[in-house]
A and B are shown apart, each in its own frame.
Chain A
Amino acid sequence: MAEMLSGGDMLIRALQDEGVEHVFGYPGGAALHIYDAIFRQQKVEHVLVRHEQAATHMADGYARSTGRPGVVLVTSGPGATNAITGIATAYMDSIPMVVISAQVPQEQIGTDAFQETDMVGISRPVVKHSFMIKDPAEIPSVVKKAFHLASTGRPGPVVIDVPKDTTDPTMFAEYQFPAAVKMRSYNPASKGNGRQIRKALAALVSANRPVFYVGGGVIMANATDSLRELVRSLGYPVTNTLMGLGAVPGNDPQCLGMLGMHGTYQANMAMHETDLVCCIGARFDDRVTNNPDKFSPSATIIHIDVDPASISKIIEADIPIVGDAKLVLEEMCAQLAKILEAEPEAEQHARQARTQRWCEQIGEWREQHGLNHELRADSARPILPQLAVQMLYKVTGGDAFVTSDVGQHQMFAAQYYHFNEPRRWINSGGLGTMGFGLPAAMGVQMAHPLETVVCITGEGSFMMNMQELSTCLQYGFPIKILNLNNQALGMVKQWQDMQYGGRHSQSTYSDSLPDFKTLVEAFGHVGIKVTDANELEPALDWAFSAELKGKLVFVDVWVDPHEHVYPMAIKGGSMRDMILSKSTGAESN
C-alpha cells in the first residue's frame, strides 16, 4: 500500500526522490508547513540566504557548475517577487532551475490576502513553464514534470506555486513518485537530421575561411569533448560567446577568444571575413552580431541549436540543424572521420593549405591588435583592472571556478582569464544581472566544497547583494572576492565618456563608498586593500595561501577609474567595426 503523507512532506520527499541535495531559500508564513517538513528530515540540506534574489542566483551558480537543476524555496508575496530577477537571469541563459514558491491558501487567492501575489502570472514571461498545485495528490507528479522540463531540451527555470492549504500537515494523500514523465505536448529535439548534418560537413570541408562560433548551449549539453574533437580534426579557428568560454581551451592556438561587442580583434575580424560560420548553441545575440544586416556578409551559415525558435530568428540559417548539441556533434565527428579517411590526398593538401592561409591571416590580426596578456605591474601608475585579472589567472593557475557580476570587470574577466574547461566561467550573460556574482559563487562552492571559487566583481555590483556575506559565514564558504574598485559604475561611465560628452550622470559615488576591508571584517571575513600595482601579486598570493584556505577573503583592488573596455563595437556597424583604444578612436574597416 502506498504511503500516506501530508502535502508538505510529499514536496520534500519528492525532492529527495528526484535526487536533490541542496535547496536555497528563505522561510515565511505561507511556506511554514514546507519548512517544518524540511526540519524533520536530513537528506535535503537547506541553505538560508539573506535575500531571495540571492537564493535564485545561488541555485543558478549551482546549476551552471554542475549541470543539475538548482532548487529554490521561497514564501509567497515578497518572497516570490524577490526571486523574479534570479528567475529571469536563469531564463535568459537557459539554466535549469526549479523554484518552489509558497502561496496563500486557495480560498484566499484573489482576495488581496496578506503576502499574496500572482506568482504564476508575474513569472510567466521568464519561465519555461509553471505549475500551481491544486491538490496535494498531484505534488509528486508535478515535481517530476518540473525537473524534467527544467533540465531537458533548452533548459530553463520552472516555477511550482504551492498554496498553503495543499501542504496542510493534517491532510494526507497517497504518495507515489512517478518513474517517468509523459507529456504529449513536450517532445524536445534530440538527434539532428542526418541529411542536414551531411550538408554541414560538406560545407565545412570545402570552406576557405571557416569559423566555429560556439555558445553556452555546447556547455549546457555537455558537448565540449565532441566539439573539441571536431575542431581539432579540422584545425579550424573557434570563437566563443560570453556564455561559451571554456568550451574549447582558452589558451589553445585555435581559440580566438570571445567575439562580439567587447570581443577580440581577431575574433571579430574573422567573423566578418569568414565564408562559413558554424554556430553551435549560440543565438546571434545583438551583443555578438552588431548590425545584423552587415553580419558576416559573405558567409554560409550553419546553425545547430536545440531550440528551433533560435534558428533564423536574427540571422537566416542556410543549413539549420535542430538537435541536442552533444548528439549532433557526436554524429558529426563520426561522419567527419569517414569523410577525412576517404578524402584524396590532393584535396586534403589543398584543404590544409587553405586552413593554413586563413590561420595565418588570423594570426596577423592577433599580432596587430590582439589583447596584451603580458601586462606588467607599475607602481608609477594606477592599477590596470586587466592586470588584476591577469594576475588572478596566474595565481590560481587558470584552474578556478570564476563567477562575475556585470560591467567592465565582467568583460575584463572574460578577456583576460583563459578558461580551459567548461562550467568554470559563470556569469549573467543574457540578462546582465548586477549582484549575481557573490551568490552565484556561493552556489558553486556549495556544489564543489573543495574547489577554488573566485568572484570577480566591482564595487557597484557587489553592493547589490553584499548581505550574503552573512550567509557565507554561516555556511563557511571560503570564496575569494576580487573587487575591481573603480569608484564608479564603470560601464555606464564608459558609455557616458564615449557617447554623452563625458557627462557622468548618476554613475559616480566615490565620496560615499564604504571601507570594504572594515565592512567584510564586520561580517567576520578577511579584507585586504590594494592601491599599488606592486602590492597586487603579494596580496593575491596571501588571499590564496594555505593559511587563508578556509576563509572568505575580499581583495579590494583600487583600479584606474579612467580605464575603458576595448575593443568596443561601433554601434550600427559590422563586426569588424571596432574602437580599439581611447587614443586610436574609431577603427572602421
Chain B
Amino acid sequence: MRRILAVLLENEAGALSRVVGLFAQRNFNIESLTVAPTEDVTLSRLTVTTAGDERRIEQITKQLHKLVEVVKVMDLCEADHVERELMLIKLRASSDERQEIKRTADIFRGQIVDVTADTYTVQLVGPSEKLDAFLRAIGTAPILEVVRSGVSGVGRGDRVLSS
C-alpha cells in the first residue's frame, strides 16, 4: 500500500541524512522524497512516499518519531488530503509532432515553458498518476528528459501538521 508521510524536521545540518539513513538502515523503501524549509525557518517539511502494510507503516512512523530532530509525523493517507507533484518533460518536437504535443499538454492542463526549433519542455502539476498518464499519452514523441519533484501533500480542511 502506498503511503505519503509528512514530516516536520528541525532545519539543522545532518537532519535529512538521519531520515534518509533510517530508511536505508531499516530496509524501508523510499519512492519519492521532497524537502524544503517552511515559513518557520527553524523547521523543514519533508514529504516521503513509501509502501508497506499497516504494521510496516506503523513501524516507519514510530522509528521516524524516535529521531531526535523529528518534530511531527503525519500519515496523509489516513484521511482526505491533497497531493501534488511537478514534472518537467523535455520532448523532441519536430514540425509534424508539435501540434499533437501541444494538444496533449492542453488536455492535461500542462504548460509549455521552453521552446526551441526542435524541442518542447512541458510543465505539468498534479497527482503522480496524472503525470504517469501524461507520459503514456505522449505517444511516439521521443522523450529527452523527465524531471519529477516527488510528491508534496497536505491534509484537507482543518487537518494541520504544525509544531
Query: Which residues of B sit under 8 angstroms from A132, Cβ to Cβ?
Result: 13-14
- A125-B25, A184-B71, A312-B58 given as contacts; is B66 within 8 A of A307 (CB)? yes
Does B59 sit within 8 A of A, measured CB to CB? yes
Q: Choose from B10, B18, B55 the contact partner of A312 (Cβ within 8 Å).
A: B55
Task: Name B's interface SS.
Answer: helix
Q: Please indicate which of the listed interface residues A121, A132, A307, A309 has the most CB atoms of chain B within 10 Å of its own CB.
A: A309
User: Which residues of B, 39-86, contact A by the 8 Å Cβ criterion?
Assistant: 55, 58-59, 62-63, 65-66, 68-71
Q: Choose from B14, B21, B66 the contact partner of A125 (Cβ within 8 Å).
A: B21
Minimum CB–CB distance from B161 to chain A (whole Å) comes to: 13
Minimum CB distance partner of A310 in chain B? B62
Minimum CB–CB distance from A280 to chain B (whole Å) comes to: 19
B interface size (C-beta, 8 A): 19
Does B95 sit within 8 A of A, measured CB to CB? no
A interface size (C-beta, 8 A): 19
Contact A129 B68 (CB under 8 A): yes
Minimum CB–CB distance from A101 to chain B (whole Å) comes to: 15
User: Which residues of A, 189-230, contact B by the 8 Å Cβ criterion?
Assistant: none
Minimum CB–CB distance from A564 to chain B (whole Å) comes to: 33
Q: Binary interface profile of A, 165-184, with partner B (CB < 8 Å = 1, else 0)?
A: 00000000000000000011
Query: Which residues of A sit under 8 angstroms from B18, Cβ to Cβ?
Result: 124
Does B163 sit within 8 A of A, measured CB to CB? yes
Minimum CB distance partner of B60 in chain A? A309
Query: Which residues of B sit under 8 angstroms from A307, Cβ to Cβ?
Result: 66
Minimum CB–CB distance from A389 to chain B (whole Å) comes to: 37
Contact B63 A149 (CB under 8 A): no
Contact A120 B59 (CB under 8 A): no
A308–B63 CA distance with the chains assembled, in angstroms: 9
Query: Which residues of B sit under 8 angstroms from A185, Cβ to Cβ?
Result: 10, 68-71
Minimum CB distance partner of A309 in chain B? B62
Query: Which residues of A sit under 8 angstroms from B27, Cβ to Cβ?
Result: none
Q: Please indicate which of the listed interface residues A128, A185, A308, A312 has the most CB atoms of chain B within 10 Å of its own CB.
A: A185
Query: Which residues of B sit under 8 angstroms from A184, Cβ to Cβ?
Result: 71, 163
Does A313 sit within 8 A of B, measured CB to CB? yes
Contact A124 B21 (CB under 8 A): yes
Minimum CB–CB distance from A310 to chain B (whole Å) comes to: 9
A424–B121 CA distance with the chains assembled, in angstroms: 69
Query: Which residues of B sit under 8 angstroms from A124, Cβ to Cβ?
Result: 17-18, 21
Q: Binary interface profile of B, 1-18, with partner A (CB < 8 Å = 1, else 0)?
A: 000000000100110011
Query: Which residues of B sit under 8 angstroms from A128, Cβ to Cβ?
Result: 68
Minimum CB distance partner of B68 in chain A? A129
Q: Choose from A120, A309, A313 the contact partner of B14 (Cβ within 8 Å).
A: A120
Contact B63 A309 (CB under 8 A): yes
Does A509 sit within 8 A of B, measured CB to CB? no
A49–B10 CA distance with the chains assembled, in angstroms: 37
Knowing that A184-B71, A185-B68, A308-B62 are A-B contacts, what are 7 other residue pairs whose CB atoms are under 8 Å apart, sorted by A's residue number?
A: A120-B14, A128-B68, A185-B10, A185-B71, A309-B59, A309-B63, A309-B66
Q: Which residues of B contact A (CB under 8 A)?
A: 10, 13-14, 17-18, 21, 25, 55, 58-59, 62-63, 65-66, 68-71, 163
Contact sample, A vs B, 21 pairs, CB 8 Å cutoff: A121-B17, A124-B17, A124-B18, A124-B21, A128-B68, A132-B13, A183-B68, A184-B71, A184-B163, A185-B68, A185-B70, A185-B71, A308-B62, A308-B65, A309-B62, A309-B63, A309-B65, A309-B66, A312-B55, A312-B58, A316-B55
